[in-house]
């Protein structure tokens, strides 16, 4: 079963590039269960921004269609207004960018850590044993 995050990103694991600009507006509208004019309005509002052909036609990706479905779910199912949906989309993109940056930094740390194995072995300490014994009296007694 595909996770909600993958579905929202248009990443179904089916080998199709989720960013491939393949759907004309009428097909994207049908796939998203909306009217084409709604897609035009969402584009105008900046909710979903499809790729433009040299002639100005809109081309939607599977990721765009998934986002359109999420906009519809938030709007109709959750009662979120379009301004709220736009903010949710912006924050989701920020989280994805930050997650990507964290992953990048983790890979860099792992690379640096792996380079430590090429350093000389640390000097070993003696195996001396120190025993602590409490004092029986107070100082000055």
Give CA–CA dist 44/25, Å, rounded. 14
Q: How sure is the predictor about 7, in pLDDT bands with cuts at 50, 70 and 90?
A: very low
Q: Which two tokens stand for residue 2?
A: 């595909």
Q: How sure is the predictor about 131, in pLDDT bands with cuts at 50, 70 and 90?
A: confident
Q: How sure is the predictor about 2, in pLDDT bands with cuts at 50, 70 and 90?
A: very low
Looking at residue 116, what is its pLDDT? 75
CB atoms within 10 A of CB 28: 23
Give CA–CA dist 89/94, Å, rounded. 9
* CB-CB contact of 36 with 26 (8 Å): yes
> How do strand 58-60 and strand 51-52 relate by DSSP bridges?
antiparallel
Looking at residue 113, what is its pLDDT? 83
Per 3-state DSSP, what percentage of the chain is helix, strand, and coil (rounded to 5)? 55, 5, 40
**Tens-digit pLDDT profile for residues 68-104:** 999 999 999 999 999 999 999 999 999 999 999 999 9
Give CA–CA dist 81/38, Å, rounded. 14
Looking at residue 1, what is its pLDDT? 34
* CB-CB contact of 74 with 83 (8 Å): no
- The neighbouring-strand residues paired with 23 are 60
Looking at residue 86, what is its pLDDT? 96
Give CA–CA dist 110/104, Å, rounded. 10
**Tens-digit pLDDT profile for residues 27-78:** 999 999 999 999 999 999 999 999 999 999 999 999 999 999 999 999 999 9
Looking at residue 123, what is its pLDDT? 63
What kind of architecture, by CATH, is found in domain 4-116? Orthogonal Bundle (1.10)
pLDDT for residue 15 is more than 80 = no
Q: How sure is the predictor about 132, in pLDDT bands with cuts at 50, 70 and 90?
A: confident
């Amino acid at each position: 079963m595909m996770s909600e995050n993958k579905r929202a990103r248009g990443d179904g694991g089916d080998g199709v590039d989720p960013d491939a600009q393949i759907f004309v507006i009428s097909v994207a509208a049908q796939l998203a269960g909306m009217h084409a004019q709604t897609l035009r309005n969402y584009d105008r509002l900046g909710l979903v921004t499809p790729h433009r052909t040299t002639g100005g036609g809109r081309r939607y990706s599977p990721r765009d269609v998934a986002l359109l479905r999420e906009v519809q779910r938030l709007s109709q199912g959750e009662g979120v207004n379009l301004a709220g949906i736009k903010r949710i989309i912006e924050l989701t993109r920020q989280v994805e960018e930050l997650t990507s940056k964290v992953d990048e930094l983790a890979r860099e740390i792992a690379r640096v850590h792996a380079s430590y194995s090429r350093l000389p072995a640390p000097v070993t300490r003696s195996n001396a044993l120190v025993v602590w014994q409490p004092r029986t009296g107070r100082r000055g007694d």
